[in-house]
Amino acid sequence: MKFDYDVIIIGSGPAGFSCAMQSTKFDKKVLIVEASAHTLGGSWISKGTVPSKALRAAAKLIQSFNRQFGDEKGRKPFERYRMEDIMEYKKPILESKNRQVKDDIIKNEVETVRGWGKIIDANTVEVTNTLNHIKTFTTKHILVSTGSSPSIPKNFEIDHTKILDYSSILELTHIPRRLVIIGSGVITIEFATIFSALGTRVVILSDLPGILPFLDKEIKEYLIGIIKSRNIQIFNNSNVTKIATNDLRTCEEVYFKTAGDSRLQVVETDHILYVGGKKPNTNGIGLETVGIKTNPEGFINVDNYFRTAAPNIYAAGDVIGQPSLASVSFLQGRIASSHMFGSLSTDYMMFNKDIPYGIYSIPEISGIGLTEEMALELGLDVTIGRAYYDNLTRADINHDTEGILKLVFRTDNLQLLGVHILGEHATDLVHLGQSVMAHNGTVKYFIERVLNYPTYGEAYKIAAFNGLNRVHKSGVKYKKVLDRAD
Ligand SMILES: Cc1cc2nc3c(=O)[nH]c(=O)nc-3n(C[C@H](O)[C@H](O)[C@H](O)COP(=O)(O)OP(=O)(O)OC[C@H]3O[C@@H](n4cnc5c(N)ncnc54)[C@H](O)[C@@H]3O)c2cc1C
């Protein structure tokens, strides 16, 4: 049977975009259906990854400038800088990314259609545009990459004016003086440190016993120290019961209780940012017509190649659930395409092995592989090597001396098992460790190679020496320590 397309992709975010690009490399005919009338690239470009990182970059610049040059009148950043200027910083970045995605799509001869995509049967997608005009297209394969949306809180309503979600906060037209963030994960810590750098007084109400439960314990303690030094307050185990406007005091009041304390507490603020979970964009896209199964939270179930229960229909990106990252979605889309067209072995991609995490807080946090606690739980004999940023010449030069890089390696053969970093450029730095780990390398790599100087990468060398010294001090002669990896 002849179809209009080899693959129709519903949603142009990282998963859809990468599936389209990969499919054109296999000389396939591709159509992307995108619901947004103006943008391509999904929340990656318009609502999530890129705009929040642009806001971070602007806040970091302001923070560095303020630290270096201060203000003789002691004014806070929000009294010196305007959100309008920060928005101007962000605007050209988003425009250029949008243009780039569009150019790539055109260059690679991918067709696009604007409108709401819905699966009618296993080989047909219907597209309804904003004028309610309907077109149908036939296809051999379908990729569902419709992404996710912010989840909705139970005890209050997001009005996108005072009470914001992680998308509407990026549209704020002023820098708030006070901000309450309800959440405990990555986005919470990113926005908390970004707004704190802009002079905002931030309070975090976390419903968990702590923040970022997956972090290496030592890195987390270091982070909490930084957070406290920035006057960011955290209330753990808290449950928000109500949010009300106090017209007299022209503020919002957030009422909450913490576990084990029956008192109702209240915090006054200008804005509230709610960062609950994500919900998959699966409503009204016709999953039920082709028997596609979802898990109890509504995310689409897929196999290792991102196939759904319908054999020619794939799903990738946020719509299938964790880890819900642009970085991961890009690879998922490629694997799905590779599997559809059987042209590339996907085994080498080692997809689920050692995915790094990156947190774009100020400073950044990143890591890969085993934490110290995980290694001990597995009963492994590991040694830890540490480097502190205040020992790095480059960090000194840049006045970025807050931070630590931590290596976890096997004591018997020095094999690198994990890298955990808190400090500037952590999200880039982690990839050096990732490469060594991917080749089953040892920490000797860092002391036997010339690394550029001064760089943040020097931290690897210092941490490797630090860890090897520790093995030496435990009673193994230094020469023997180095012989271990040969
Ligand atoms: C504030 C924030 C910061 C983030 N920071 C990072 C980060 O630093 N690093 C990182 O890796 N990830 C980050 N993420 C996560 C990242 O943005 C997402 O994981 C990623 O965008 C998911 O890609 P996707 O392709 O699944 O979907 P999306 O990017 O959400 O794209 C889905 C697209 O599908 C379209 N669509 C939906 N339904 C239909 C339909 N029926 N028909 C047609 N089109 C439809 C939507 O309009 C949208 O364009 C962040 C997210 C947020 C919110």
Q: Specify the pLDDT at position 136.
A: 98
Tell me how many helices (H) and strands (E) the chain has: 14, 22
Other residues' Cβ atoms within 10 Å of the Cβ of residue 31: 21
Is 329's C-beta closer than 6 angstroms to any atom of ligand 1?
Answer: yes
For residue 170, give the ligand 1 atom closest to its CA: 1
* Cα distance between residue 389 and residue 460, in whole Å: 11
Phi, psi (rounded to 5 degrees) for 111: -90, 150
Mean of pLDDT values over 199-219? 93
175 pLDDT higher than 60: yes
Residue 376 CA to ligand 1 centre (angstroms)? 36
Nearest protein CA to atom 1 of ligand 1, as residue: 48
Q: Specify the pLDDT at position 84.
A: 82
Task: List C-alpha distances in Å: 372 to 83, 219, 382, 410, 416.
Answer: 41, 10, 8, 11, 12
pLDDT class for 16, splitting at 50, 70, 90? very high
Mean of pLDDT values over 136-156? 95
Strands 30-34 and 5-10: parallel
Is 13's C-beta closer than 6 angstroms to any atom of ligand 1?
Answer: yes
481 pLDDT higher than 90: no
* Cα distance between residue 227 and residue 224, in whole Å: 5
Phi, psi (rounded to 5 degrees) for 385: -115, 135
Is 11's C-beta closer than 6 angstroms to any atom of ligand 1?
Answer: yes
Question: CATH 3.50.50.60 spans which residues of the chain?
Answer: 5-47+88-150+279-350, 152-276
CATH of span 5-47+88-150+279-350: 3.50.50.60
* Cα distance between residue 231 and residue 83, in whole Å: 21
Beta bridge partners of 271: 179
Q: Specify the pLDDT at position 347.
A: 55
Q: Which of 264, 411, 277, 433 is nearest to 357 (CA)?
A: 433
Task: List C-alpha distances in Å: 468 to 180, 217, 381, 443, 463.
Answer: 44, 22, 14, 8, 9
For residue 333, give the ligand 1 atom closest to its CA: 25
When computed from its CA atoms, the radius of gyration of the chain, rounded to whole angstroms, is 25
Who's near 368: CB < 8 A, 6+ residues apart? 354, 355, 356, 357, 418, 419, 430, 433, 434, 437
Please report, rounded to a whole number, the percentage of residues in the chain having pLDDT higher than 90.
Answer: 78
Of 44-58, 425-439, 458-472, the least confident? 44-58
Of 125-129, 164-168, 194-198, 469-473, the least confident? 469-473
pLDDT class for 349, splitting at 50, 70, 90? low
Q: Specify the pLDDT at position 74.
A: 73
Q: Which of 101, 103, 115 is nearest to 10 (CA)?
A: 115
Q: Specify the pLDDT at position 266.
A: 97
Mean of pLDDT values over 342-365? 77
pLDDT class for 346, splitting at 50, 70, 90? low
Is 356's C-beta closer than 6 angstroms to any atom of ligand 1?
Answer: no
The overall average pLDDT reported for the chain is 92
Is 12's C-beta closer than 6 angstroms to any atom of ligand 1?
Answer: yes
pLDDT class for 382, splitting at 50, 70, 90? very high
Nearest protein CA to atom 53 of ligand 1, as residue: 48
Q: Specify the pLDDT at position 277.
A: 86
* Cα distance between residue 371 and residue 384, in whole Å: 10
240 pLDDT higher than 80: yes
Encode pLDDT of 354-376 as tens digits: 889 999 999 999 999 999 999 99
Angle between helices 186-197 and 217-229 (to 10 degrees): 30
For residue 319, give the ligand 1 atom closest to its CA: 26
CATH of span 152-276: 3.50.50.60
pLDDT class for 232, splitting at 50, 70, 90? very high
Q: Specify the pLDDT at position 368.
A: 97
- Give the predicted TM-score (pTM) of the model: 0.93
* Cα distance between residue 13 and residue 208, in whole Å: 30
Residue 178 CA to ligand 1 centre (angstroms)? 28
For residue 284, give the ligand 1 atom closest to its CA: 41
Angle between helices 49-69 and 186-197 (to 10 degrees): 40
- Looking at domain 363-484, its CATH superfamily turns out to be FAD/NAD-linked reductase, C-terminal dimerisation domain (3.30.390.30)
Q: Specify the pLDDT at position 353.
A: 65
Who's near 321: CB < 8 A, 6+ residues apart? 280, 295, 297, 299
Q: Specify the pLDDT at position 309.
A: 96
Please report, rounded to a whole number, the percentage of residues in the chain having pLDDT higher than 70.
Answer: 97
pLDDT class for 477, splitting at 50, 70, 90? confident
Residue 404 in contact with residue 218, Cβ under 8 Å?
yes
Who's near 375: CB < 8 A, 6+ residues apart? 382, 408, 417, 418
Q: Specify the pLDDT at position 348.
A: 52
Mean of pLDDT values over 286-315? 95
Residue 268 in contact with residue 253, Cβ under 8 Å?
yes
Q: Specify the pLDDT at position 19.
A: 97
* Cα distance between residue 219 and residue 404, in whole Å: 8
Q: Specify the pLDDT at position 342.
A: 82
294 pLDDT higher than 90: yes
Q: Specify the pLDDT at position 478.
A: 76
Residue 329 in contact with residue 13, Cβ under 8 Å?
yes
82 pLDDT higher than 70: yes
Is 400's C-beta closer than 6 angstroms to any atom of ligand 1?
Answer: no
Residue 299 in contact with residue 307, Cβ under 8 Å?
no
pLDDT class for 486, splitting at 50, 70, 90? low
**Residue matched to tokens 């806001």:** 55
70 pLDDT higher than 90: no
306 pLDDT higher than 90: yes
Question: CATH 3.30.390.30 spans which residues of the chain?
Answer: 363-484
Task: List C-alpha distances in Å: 232 to 188, 226, 340.
Answer: 12, 9, 48
Q: Higher pLDDT residue, 78 or 214?
A: 214
